Amino acid sequence: MIINNFFFILFLFSFSIYANTDKYRCTLRDNPATSIVIGWNQISGNNPIVYYDIIDHGTNSSSYSYSKGVDRSIYTKGMNNTFSRLSGLLPNTVYYFIIEDNNSTSQRFSFKTAPDVPTERLSFIAGGDSRNNRIPRVNANKLVAKTRPNAVIFGGDMTDIDIDWQWQDWFDDWQYTIANDGRMTPIIVARGNHEYNNESIYDLFDTPNSDIYYALTFGGNLYRTYILNSNIAVNGSQKMWLENDLISNKKTLWKSAHYHHTMLPHVSYKPENTNLIVNWAPLFEQHGLDFAVECDIHAVKNTHPIHTNKMIGNQEGFIRDDVNGVVYIGEGCWGAPLRPVDDNKFWTRHSGSFNQIKWIFIDQSKIEIRTIKTDNADIVGSLKDKNRFTMPLNINIWTPAPNEDIITIYKTFSTNGPSIIKSDENKLYLYPNPVGENLHLEIDILPNLYPIRIEIWDYSGKNIFSNIYTKSKIDIDVKFLPIGFYSVNMIDITGKIYSKNLIVLK
């Protein structure tokens, strides 16, 4: 298939007159604030060197302050995939670089390292399933160049059948993610089922390991993203690593997971993935994961926060839970054939079938998730570093209902617990308050809204008590609670939350 795009033809031509290299990519395998991997296809020439600096020296290699040779080179998929791992970089800094071998020099490119402090806002593009439709694939790639995120997090299924010419086309199309000024965006990659083995990802993107499950932290302790591999055993060593890493990083403010297969597909002929539900969902919930990006289905979905629960009223083992739940988004659509949605759940927020990517902003107080329709990429405006959190001209943000263009997840706490809690104090009565040893609760809701869950949260936002009840009068021994302020939440079968403050004195 020939892609008619005048700029891209000129772009490729500019590469060809500079160097015997092509199919450029940046990836991450270590601290995004101080390291990056420069990757490319070495067509010919010997002894390639990456020259880089915080000052733009164009294509004059002798003026650059730093240089790095090749750390890894492997011939696969008809390409000589060559990687130079740069480290010791300055955080939140633009670097300019070229690749020069014994007889050629590349065009000048640039990248920007991530910040290393939690006070800096972050931007990400997330999605997956680019597969075999090049036009929508290229459109999504163009939006990467125009929005200049900190990174792209890609959930696998880059090609259709994992063969040489398809990968070469994929990397040619990936060049559309390079902005007009040469800015490259690093890609973080998970494996899909159309990558027939782990080596396809490891050898083309120089991931941190060949198992293709790993995690990266951005902004000091602001955000940690987990890249999981749903194409190998999800229990055993992978589950053990995930649990241990979640425990080790409990002080990280925000966490997300990115993997290929969907736990609960919104297309009916795709079955529920019991292995993921049993092995991963409880860990997500126990350790405060905020959202998960899933692919594979070739549809669009955003859920309310949901939590595994077998209580009456669950659907496919999940209930809506605005306090402890995880938001699940995605299902692919970076270019794969679209499938109609026909399996919504009562906890589905919105769903659809169109080409899309997720645009995610993260700061200390909240996460904002937008679904971007990609078909109009050519008329969308371009951003710069200084305005990367504004909406570019003509960006097509999916708004399935009034005021539903953004999913916002908050991380601010008060004595009422997390600010996302919905409360109706007339349905929940506590006494005595303040309390010392025995707390009595009376619930005033309709009988068909049982069973209910009672939760107690401390001032820092930690959930320290949770139990399910089927009666309207409840006694709880709270002698284990230290003196302080708490929030007591009652969640009915529909997921609605009622909240009251509690003071514990001894």
Is 78 buried (19+), middle (13-18) or exposed (0-12) by CB count in 10 A?
A: exposed
Average pLDDT rounded to a whole number, residues 312-333: 87
CB 323 within 8 A of CB 455: yes
Is 245 buried (19+), middle (13-18) or exposed (0-12) by CB count in 10 A?
A: middle
Q: Can you give the residue range of the structural domain that contains 456?
A: 417-504
List the CATH number of the domain containing 101.
2.60.40.10
Mark whether 363 and 438 lie in a shared domain: no
Mark whether 265 and 311 lie in a shared domain: yes
pLDDT at residue 201 tops 90: yes
Let me know if residue 142 belongs to a domain.
Answer: yes
Let me know if residue 20 belongs to a domain.
Answer: yes
How far the first Cα of the chain sits from its last, in Å, is 75
Mark whether 108 and 130 lie in a shared domain: no
Let me know if residue 100 belongs to a domain.
Answer: yes
Q: Across 338-451, where does the E strand assignment appear?
A: 348-352, 356-362, 366-373, 396-397, 407-410, 413-414, 417-418, 428-431, 438-443
pLDDT at residue number 51:
98
List the CATH number of the domain containing 430.
2.60.40.3080
Mark whether 392 and 247 lie in a shared domain: yes
CB 64 within 8 A of CB 58: no
Q: How many CB atoms lie within 10 A of CB 426?
A: 8
- CA 207, 208, 212 angle in degrees (round to 5)? 65
| pLDDT tens, position by position, 173-190 | 999 999 999 999 999 999
Mean of all residue pLDDT scores within the chain = 91
Helix (H) or strand (E) holding 161: none
Helix (H) or strand (E) holding 22: strand 21-27
| pLDDT tens, position by position, 227-283 | 999 999 999 999 999 999 999 999 999 999 999 999 999 999 999 999 999 999 999
Let me know if residue 1 belongs to a domain.
Answer: no
Q: What is the 3-state secondary structure of 371-421?
A: EEECCCHHHCCCCCHHHCCCCCCCCEECCCCCCCCCEEEECCEECCEECCC
pLDDT band at 18 (very low <50, low <70, confident <90, very high): low
Tally of helices (H runs) and strands (E runs) in the chain: 7, 33
| pLDDT tens, position by position, 36-81 | 999 999 999 999 999 999 999 999 999 999 999 999 999 999 999 9
Which of 385, 411, 437 represents a domain boundary (last residue)?
411
Which of 370, 392, 411 represents a domain boundary (last residue)?
411
pLDDT at residue 360 tops 70: yes
pLDDT band at 4 (very low <50, low <70, confident <90, very high): very low
Phi, psi (rounded to 5 degrees) for 44: -155, 180
Alpha-carbon distance 291 to 131, whole Å?
Answer: 24
Mark whether 267 and 374 lie in a shared domain: yes
Percent of the chain with pLDDT over 70: 92
Q: Across 214-320, where does the E strand assignment appear?
A: 214-218, 223-227, 254-258, 291-294, 300-303, 306-308, 318-320
pLDDT band at 312 (very low <50, low <70, confident <90, very high): low
List the CATH number of the domain containing 282.
3.60.21.10
Helix, strand, coil tally for the chain in percent (to 5) = 20, 35, 50
Q: Based on the structure, what is the number of domains in the chain?
A: 3
Which of 60, 85, 112 represents a domain boundary (last residue)?
112
pLDDT at residue 322 tops 90: no
Let me know if residue 313 belongs to a domain.
Answer: yes
Q: What is the DSSP letter of 409?
A: E
pTM score of the predicted model: 0.81
Helix (H) or strand (E) holding 174: helix 164-174
Alpha-carbon distance 454 to 356, whole Å?
Answer: 38
pLDDT band at 339 (very low <50, low <70, confident <90, very high): very high
Mark whether 168 and 237 lie in a shared domain: yes
CB 490 within 8 A of CB 453: yes
Let me know if residue 158 belongs to a domain.
Answer: yes
Mark whether 323 and 204 lie in a shared domain: yes
Mark whether 223 and 300 lie in a shared domain: yes
Alpha-carbon distance 504 to 506, whole Å?
Answer: 7
pLDDT at residue number 458:
78
Q: How many CB atoms lie within 10 A of CB 64?
A: 24
Spatial CA neighbour of 144 closest among 292, 2, 293, 335: 335
> In the structure encoding, which two tokens stand for residue 479, read together?
């002698």
Mark whether 488 and 390 lie in a shared domain: no
Alpha-carbon distance 464 to 455, whole Å?
Answer: 8
C-alpha dist (Å) from residue 230 to 128, 260, 462: 14, 6, 30
Alpha-carbon distance 299 to 144, whole Å?
Answer: 20
Alpha-carbon distance 103 to 101, whole Å?
Answer: 6
Let me know if residue 117 belongs to a domain.
Answer: no
**446: Cβ–Cβ under 8 A, 6 or more apart, which residues?**
none
Spatial CA neighbour of 504 closest among 472, 475, 477: 477
Q: Across 156-246, where does the E strand assignment appear?
A: 187-189, 214-218, 223-227
Helix (H) or strand (E) holding 242: helix 236-248
Helix (H) or strand (E) holding 168: helix 164-174
Mark whether 334 and 376 lie in a shared domain: yes
User: Helices (DSSP H) in 298-385: which residue ranges?
Assistant: none
Let me know if residue 40 belongs to a domain.
Answer: yes
Phi, psi (rounded to 5 degrees) for 75: -90, 115
pLDDT at residue number 503:
85
pLDDT at residue number 426:
63
Mark whether 421 and 398 lie in a shared domain: no
C-alpha dist (Å) from residue 5 to 8, 139, 334: 5, 11, 19
Mark whether 62 and 133 lie in a shared domain: no
pLDDT band at 321 (very low <50, low <70, confident <90, very high): confident
Phi, psi (rounded to 5 degrees) for 237: -65, -35
